Amino acid sequence: MSATTALQSNANPQQLEAIQATDGPVLIIAGPGSGKTFTLVERIVYLIKHRGAVPESLFVVTFTEKAARELATRISNRLNELRIKFNLNEMYLGTFHSICLRLLEEYQEFTRLKRSFTLIDQFDQQYFMYQRINEFRSIADAQLIMGDDQKGRWSQSEQLMKWLNKVSDEALGIVELALAPDPEVRALAACFKKYQELMLENNYLDFSGIQYEALKLLQQHSEVLEQVQAKLSYLMVDEYQDTNTIQEKILTLLMGTKKNLCVVGDDDQGLYRFRGATIRNILEFPELFAEGECKRITLSKNYRSHPCIIEFYNWWMQGQIWEVDNKRFRFDKIIEPRDDEFPHTAAVVRLGTSDAQDSITSWHAEVLTFLHTLREKGDLSDWNQVAFLFRSVKSDRAVSLAQFLEINGVPVYSPRSNLYFDREEIRLMIGALIFLFPQFPKVRQWSEGVYLDIWKYYDQHCFKPFTEELRKPDNKRLLDWARPLAKCHIGLIQNTDYAFSGLFYQYYSFHYSVDILPKRQCEVWTKVVPHIILQLSQSYLPNLNTFTM
């Protein structure tokens, strides 16, 4: 009986090799569309079925909570298919943050955290610093880190948060930073020390601090590290190209002398450098071990794309410079298409234009004609099957195309572009919230004479159009609802028993608001409440506690 038959799996030879490589360090370079998740699932099932792995001995890390849920579902379905009973809840399966949080809770008596500690998100973290910004301002040379006082407390707290989180994510030594010759670095060390004191005093834990505290737990308490190492037999990490320094340090501690650490990723798909990830982790992973100790397996068969796309990908990647000063920054690989029949149609279409206005106008028309042609031929059943990729969705070219398509009846969803806040339904929603809280013009000014450019947008493009709508006879019901609430809110001195989101849904129950919102987009736009509220609330943070969110 072959290994594949014993596994009852459809794995190809490369995948099968990765599934059965269970002892020692393993680096799986998974090319795009190569069945990476399938391979991970089959590897976990193999460890359970053929290596007798128990739930608490498996440590599986994914990049997002969504990916963790999908992986858990697929593992569960596969085990049910094979009639294997297994408690997935006892596995260490999740993101780095969720698993590190679990370790902190399991060994809480060894940490700085007291009972009922508070986990704060990024917004709360910045507001926490904002409220205590004077304590940081008093630190020598702190302005070199967070900017001078003229920038304002909110801007300073944002800069401070960025640098303090970087210290946590990079697991930088505070003692070494404090002894640095540069005043900026010494100031950063002092700010970080002060921040840690404040977090301890308030029994708070921020998002980046989860991993930082977990690393401290493992480094400073050998008995805890030994217990966790004894418990874990196999460690697997997905999307390893997007890991950062502190995550690598945690993994090297947890694997212990067993070294059964399998990392999966693709150095060609490193996307999260802006969030602290480093491609160095995957490129230098074999160097963590003795020469020849780490087994490297490449999954190169693509099951997703047309051969023309794969051919273009290989050609483009081979044409780049990957070696500098005799150091290579890419694992060599050639992606291959699956064995199958493919439609005889163009897989890649290029619609190009120059920057001249006439050319751009023509390009817009060509794109629109192309889209309608695809729809008339039956290649498109819904506009959401089309995606446009730009270097930046805020670029003039991206915004102008989006506006052109919208004008010509093709709805565009681009929440990260400036176009988002130009939409009528968004402007009127913000205007409604400003109307409902008349103290807005007053509380947004943290000192006399202060002015932000964004306020013109709120006043002229949001609040003014909303009041014009209220004056229309057809909107009397809306006025009768909004005016009493505004009078109530202007004297608000304590928390209400309802939230912003409740006002939002009440607002959209009126015919006026429903009319401006296309029916096909109703479900989409009801999910943007937190985005709108956050954008609005940041404008008058100094008095955020005037009313509850």
The annotation status of 30 as a binding-site residue, yes or no, is: yes
DSSP sequence for 237-268: ESSGGG--HHHHHHHHHHHTTT--EEEEE-GG
What single DSSP character describes residue 440? Answer: H
The annotation status of 387 as a binding-site residue, yes or no, is: no
The annotation status of 32 as a binding-site residue, yes or no, is: yes
C-alpha to C-alpha distance for 52 and 40, rounded to whole angstroms: 17
The annotation status of 94 as a binding-site residue, yes or no, is: no
C-alpha to C-alpha distance for 2 and 7, rounded to whole angstroms: 9
Q: Quick one: which H or E segment has residue 434?
A: helix 424-436
Q: Quick one: which H or E segment has residue 93?
A: strand 92-94
The pair of three-digit structure tokens given for residue 344, joined into one six-digit string: 């005889």
C-alpha to C-alpha distance for 417 and 398, rounded to whole angstroms: 9
267 and 279 Cβ atoms separated by less than 8 Å: yes
The annotation status of 3 as a binding-site residue, yes or no, is: no
What SS3 state is found at 499?
Answer: coil
**Could you identify the residue written with the tokens 């928390």?**
495
The annotation status of 31 as a binding-site residue, yes or no, is: yes
The pair of three-digit structure tokens given for residue 181, joined into one six-digit string: 């010759």
431 and 503 Cβ atoms separated by less than 8 Å: no
The annotation status of 37 as a binding-site residue, yes or no, is: yes
- Cβ burial, residue 196 (10 Å; 0-12/13-18/19+): middle
The annotation status of 530 as a binding-site residue, yes or no, is: no
CB atoms within 10 A of CB 202: 13
Give binding residues for ATP as ranges. 30-37
Give binding residues as ranges. 30-37
